[in-house]
Amino acid sequence: MKRLAVYCGSATPADPRYVQLAADVGTALATQGIGVVYGGGRLGLMGAVAGAALAAGGECIGVIPEALTGKDGKGGEVANYDCELTIVKTMHERKAKFTELSDGFLVLPGGVGTMDELWEAVSWAQLGYHNKPVGVLNAFGFYDGLLAFNRHMAEVGFVRPAHQGILLADTELAPLLDRMHAHQPIVPIVNMDPNTL
């Protein structure tokens, strides 16, 4: 993995562990020679990941919708011009660019936008639009409920057995990256026998 799309919140929670986690991830990825592709913002966890990666000499590519740059007069000036910044028109273009530029997806704590990015990465893997690993860093038990719900979907039968290994999760970055490096592509829905779906 030469680059990872890092999905995380643009907010700054009151608990300082979250921002520190993001900074530690940025530093660790840069130290390992793994480039960061992220949402292009300078605020919250996003800004912490990017700032730490850049400070450690790592590659950092931001992808941000024009509305969030402040250039169109509608959004606040949240863009991080310290990184290599790609400005796109829409959120759809943004997520397609994440997928194009990265070799996998690393999900840190975040909110609604992070959930949108996570589930799209999983869904696109199921459908065969990419065959890249999707890793969730479940620090501080933040994603315990989400992982339990994912298991529930599988138990009920809404996640096929062949796709139950798409979502990789760990509480620590090092073993999660090891699992992502060892990722084996799954059989996507488009290559399955329609009679078994």
Q: pLDDT tens digits, residue range 80-112?
A: 999 999 999 999 999 999 999 999 999 999 999
163 belongs to a structural domain: yes
Mean pLDDT of 177-191: 89
Specify the DSSP element, H or E, that contains 54: helix 44-55
pLDDT band at 78 (very low <50, low <70, confident <90, very high): confident
At 34-76, the pLDDT tens digits run 999 999 999 999 999 999 999 999 999 999 998 888 655 454 5
Query: Taking 60 as the threshold, does the pLDDT of residue 17 lie above it?
Result: yes
CA 149 to chain centre: 19
Residue 57 lies in a domain: yes
Question: What range defines the domain where residue 161 resides?
Answer: 3-185
End-to-end CA distance of the chain: 31
CB atoms within 10 A of CB 21: 22
Asked whether residue 195 is assigned to any structural domain, the reply reads no
Residue 64 lies in a domain: yes
The CATH number of the domain where 146 resides is what? Answer: 3.40.50.450
Q: Specify if 194 maps to a domain.
A: no
Type and span of the H or E element at 26 = helix 17-31
Domain count for the chain, please give it. Answer: 1
pLDDT of the residue at 191: 78
Average pLDDT, integer, range 107-121: 97
- Identify the pLDDT of residue 38: 98
106, part of any domain: yes
Position 149 in a domain: yes
For residue 79, tell me if it sits in a domain. Answer: yes
The pLDDT score that the predictor gives to residue 73 is 47
